Chain A
Amino acid sequence: MTGANGALRSTVHVFRAGGKDFAYDGASGTLHVLDDIGRAVLEWFMDNPSAGKSRAAGESQESGVQMRPGDVGDGNSASDAVPEDLVSALGERFPGPEIREAWQELRSALGNTLFGCDEILEQEGIEEVSTSPIEAGLKSMCLDIAHDCNLACEYCFASQGLFGGTPSLMSEETGKAAIDYLLEASKDRKYLDVDFFGGEPLLCFDTVKAVLLYALREGAKRGKEFRFTLTTNCVLLDDEKIAFLVDHGVSLILSIDGRSEVHDRMRKTRGGHPSYSRALERAKAAVEMNGGKGYFIRGTYTKHNLDFDEDVKSLYNEGFRYISLEPAVGEGPWGLSREDLDAADKSYARLVEFWLDCHRRNDPFEFYHFNLGLQHGLCKERRMTGCGAGYEYVAVTPEGEIFPCHQLVGRQEFSMGSIRDGIHRKDLMTRFCMSRVPMKPDCVSCWARYLCGGGCHARAAYSTGDLLRPDSLSCEFMKKRLEHALLAQYSLAILAQT
């Protein structure tokens, strides 16, 4: 395959899912359904980008993949004739009139829904990537209430809650100082977000309560509104704590992995005991007390449960309707590898079927990663970056040290400052802000670039050591998942029509 062909294939992704063929255009975000002839013609064109006289204009562009509506014919001119090579290549498989029909459909799509110009890459040249979001101020803060945990989950990125250090709990004073810092650093923003995180934040619930009440009080004085979340393993989530969290509108992230044997294999107490039964019972209580809303079950799948669709089903059957499962990519016997992609692919395929069945039965659930925001307007900023780590969002340790995000806590090269002295590593803020799709060589030529926003900064830092070089294994899992998410969105749209 030539370079130009490779560029074409990276811009438009042709794939098969759910027994159908699709073409997804990375620039415009348009999803196409293909029949056999449509797929054959499109793939032939992608292997023969010089076919057709009018494409010379597209080829002359530097990328070799962008076309504009004016660059293509109207279906009537001589240049719209079906290339002889195409007829030769496909004539034995398909009737001539249908090849011509598909060819004309392709030509109509060129420069519009297929191989059109990428407005973001055109407008956001490397020199022009804006750092203006930094000037708008912080909007979100992760408070590491406890660098300690009552569980010792094998795959924990935080080293069983210790973040590579010694156990520590955030004091009320430090928590309040963090709120003061956020109020100041958020400048004119009105809506602020605070996540109570750990370790296990319920180990230090008095601080959670005091900081939350302080934020509400101080925010009101300045005309700011806080939204709160709390991430917990559920074991310490008693009714009294739930009542406080529900009363104050705190959204909950509840860590349960699915089936009991899957959960307990990785999520044991420090004493080595299983945690599933207690976690499940407490999670159900929290969901019930909150009226079935305001939560997400957040699980992890590993090499040990590549049939993770069964874990989603298990969570669904336990009554949960907001579910997310994340792939565990990292060092360790549990860590996913490329050889697991095929099994994960099959599991996502089954999950789409189950998800659709639940919709058909009018008892749907939300699977986080099937939400692509295609039709409801992901903004330009969200397409260019997966998150605002380091300039809109920061994490704070129990001692008040600031890091770009919760996953980078403890990596001293990413220490940005402290809540008492402020962020002194403005270079890091700029570096994170500039780490967007247009700046990432592997991303600008990837069909999935505006669905993933360039991947996780922390994962890149751990994997490649370079924020501009995403972790390729994570990318492979992401792209596989996105294929199924596109299928899910398409299938749901069809279901809505019927």
Chain B
Amino acid sequence: MEPKHIVPVIFPNWKKETPNCEACQSTCQSACKTSCTVSNQPCPLK
């Protein structure tokens, strides 16, 4: 039966590992750098 009181609505699809992080720039998360705007985006390798 579908839940109606405690309803999971967003199931993350996080990667369990880091298969290839070439596309991720690994810089600051605070968005004071463009690179972080990329790293906080959905992973382009997904």
Hey, which bits of chain A sit against chain B, CB under 8 A?
23, 28-35, 37-38, 41-42, 98, 101-102, 105-106, 108-109, 113-114, 119, 139-140, 142, 189-191, 193, 195, 197, 227, 229-231, 251-253, 296, 298, 322, 324, 326, 368-369, 371, 373-383, 386-389, 392-393, 405-407, 450, 452-453, 456, 486, 489-490, 493
Contacts and interface: CB of A to CB of B under 8 A. Distances in A.
B26 A326 contact: no
B18 A380 contact: yes
Contact of A32 (B9, B32, B35): B9
8 contacts: A29-B14, A31-B8, A41-B6, A195-B34, A231-B34, A379-B14, A379-B24, A490-B9
A374 B9 CA distance: 12
Interface residues of B, number: 40
B27 to A, nearest CB: 5
Q: Secondary structure of the A side of the interface?
A: mixed
Interface of B is mostly: loop
B46 to A, nearest CB: 4
Contacts of A106: 6
Given A369-B31, A387-B27, A456-B28, A380 B13 contact: no
A377 B25 contact: no
A206 B45 CA distance: 35
Contact of B34 (A41, A296, A373, A381): A296
A368 B14 contact: no
Given A34-B6, A380-B18, A493-B9, 9 more contacts: A28-B11, A193-B27, A376-B43, A380-B17, A382-B18, A382-B24, A382-B39, A387-B29, A405-B28
A493 B22 CA distance: 29
Contacts of A376: 13, 42-43, 46
B6 A253 contact: no
A314 B34 CA distance: 21
Given A376-B13, A379-B19, A42 B6 contact: yes
Given A29-B14, A379-B14, A253 B5 contact: no
B10 A31 contact: yes
A98 B46 CA distance: 40
Q: Which 7 pairs between the two chains have the least Cβ-Cβ distance?
A: A376-B42, A388-B26, A229-B34, A38-B5, A29-B12, A102-B5, A324-B31
User: Which of A23, A98, A195, A231 gathers the greatest number of chain B CB atoms within 10 Å?
Assistant: A195
A140 B33 CA distance: 11
A109 B41 CA distance: 29
A98 B42 CA distance: 38
A196 B12 CA distance: 34
B27 A142 contact: yes
Given A29-B14, A388-B26, A379 B33 contact: no
Nearest to A228: B34
Contacts of B24: 379, 381-382
Given A379-B19, A392-B26, A387 B39 contact: yes
A148 B13 CA distance: 44
Contact of A371 (B12, B17, B23, B41): B41
A442 to B, nearest CB: 17
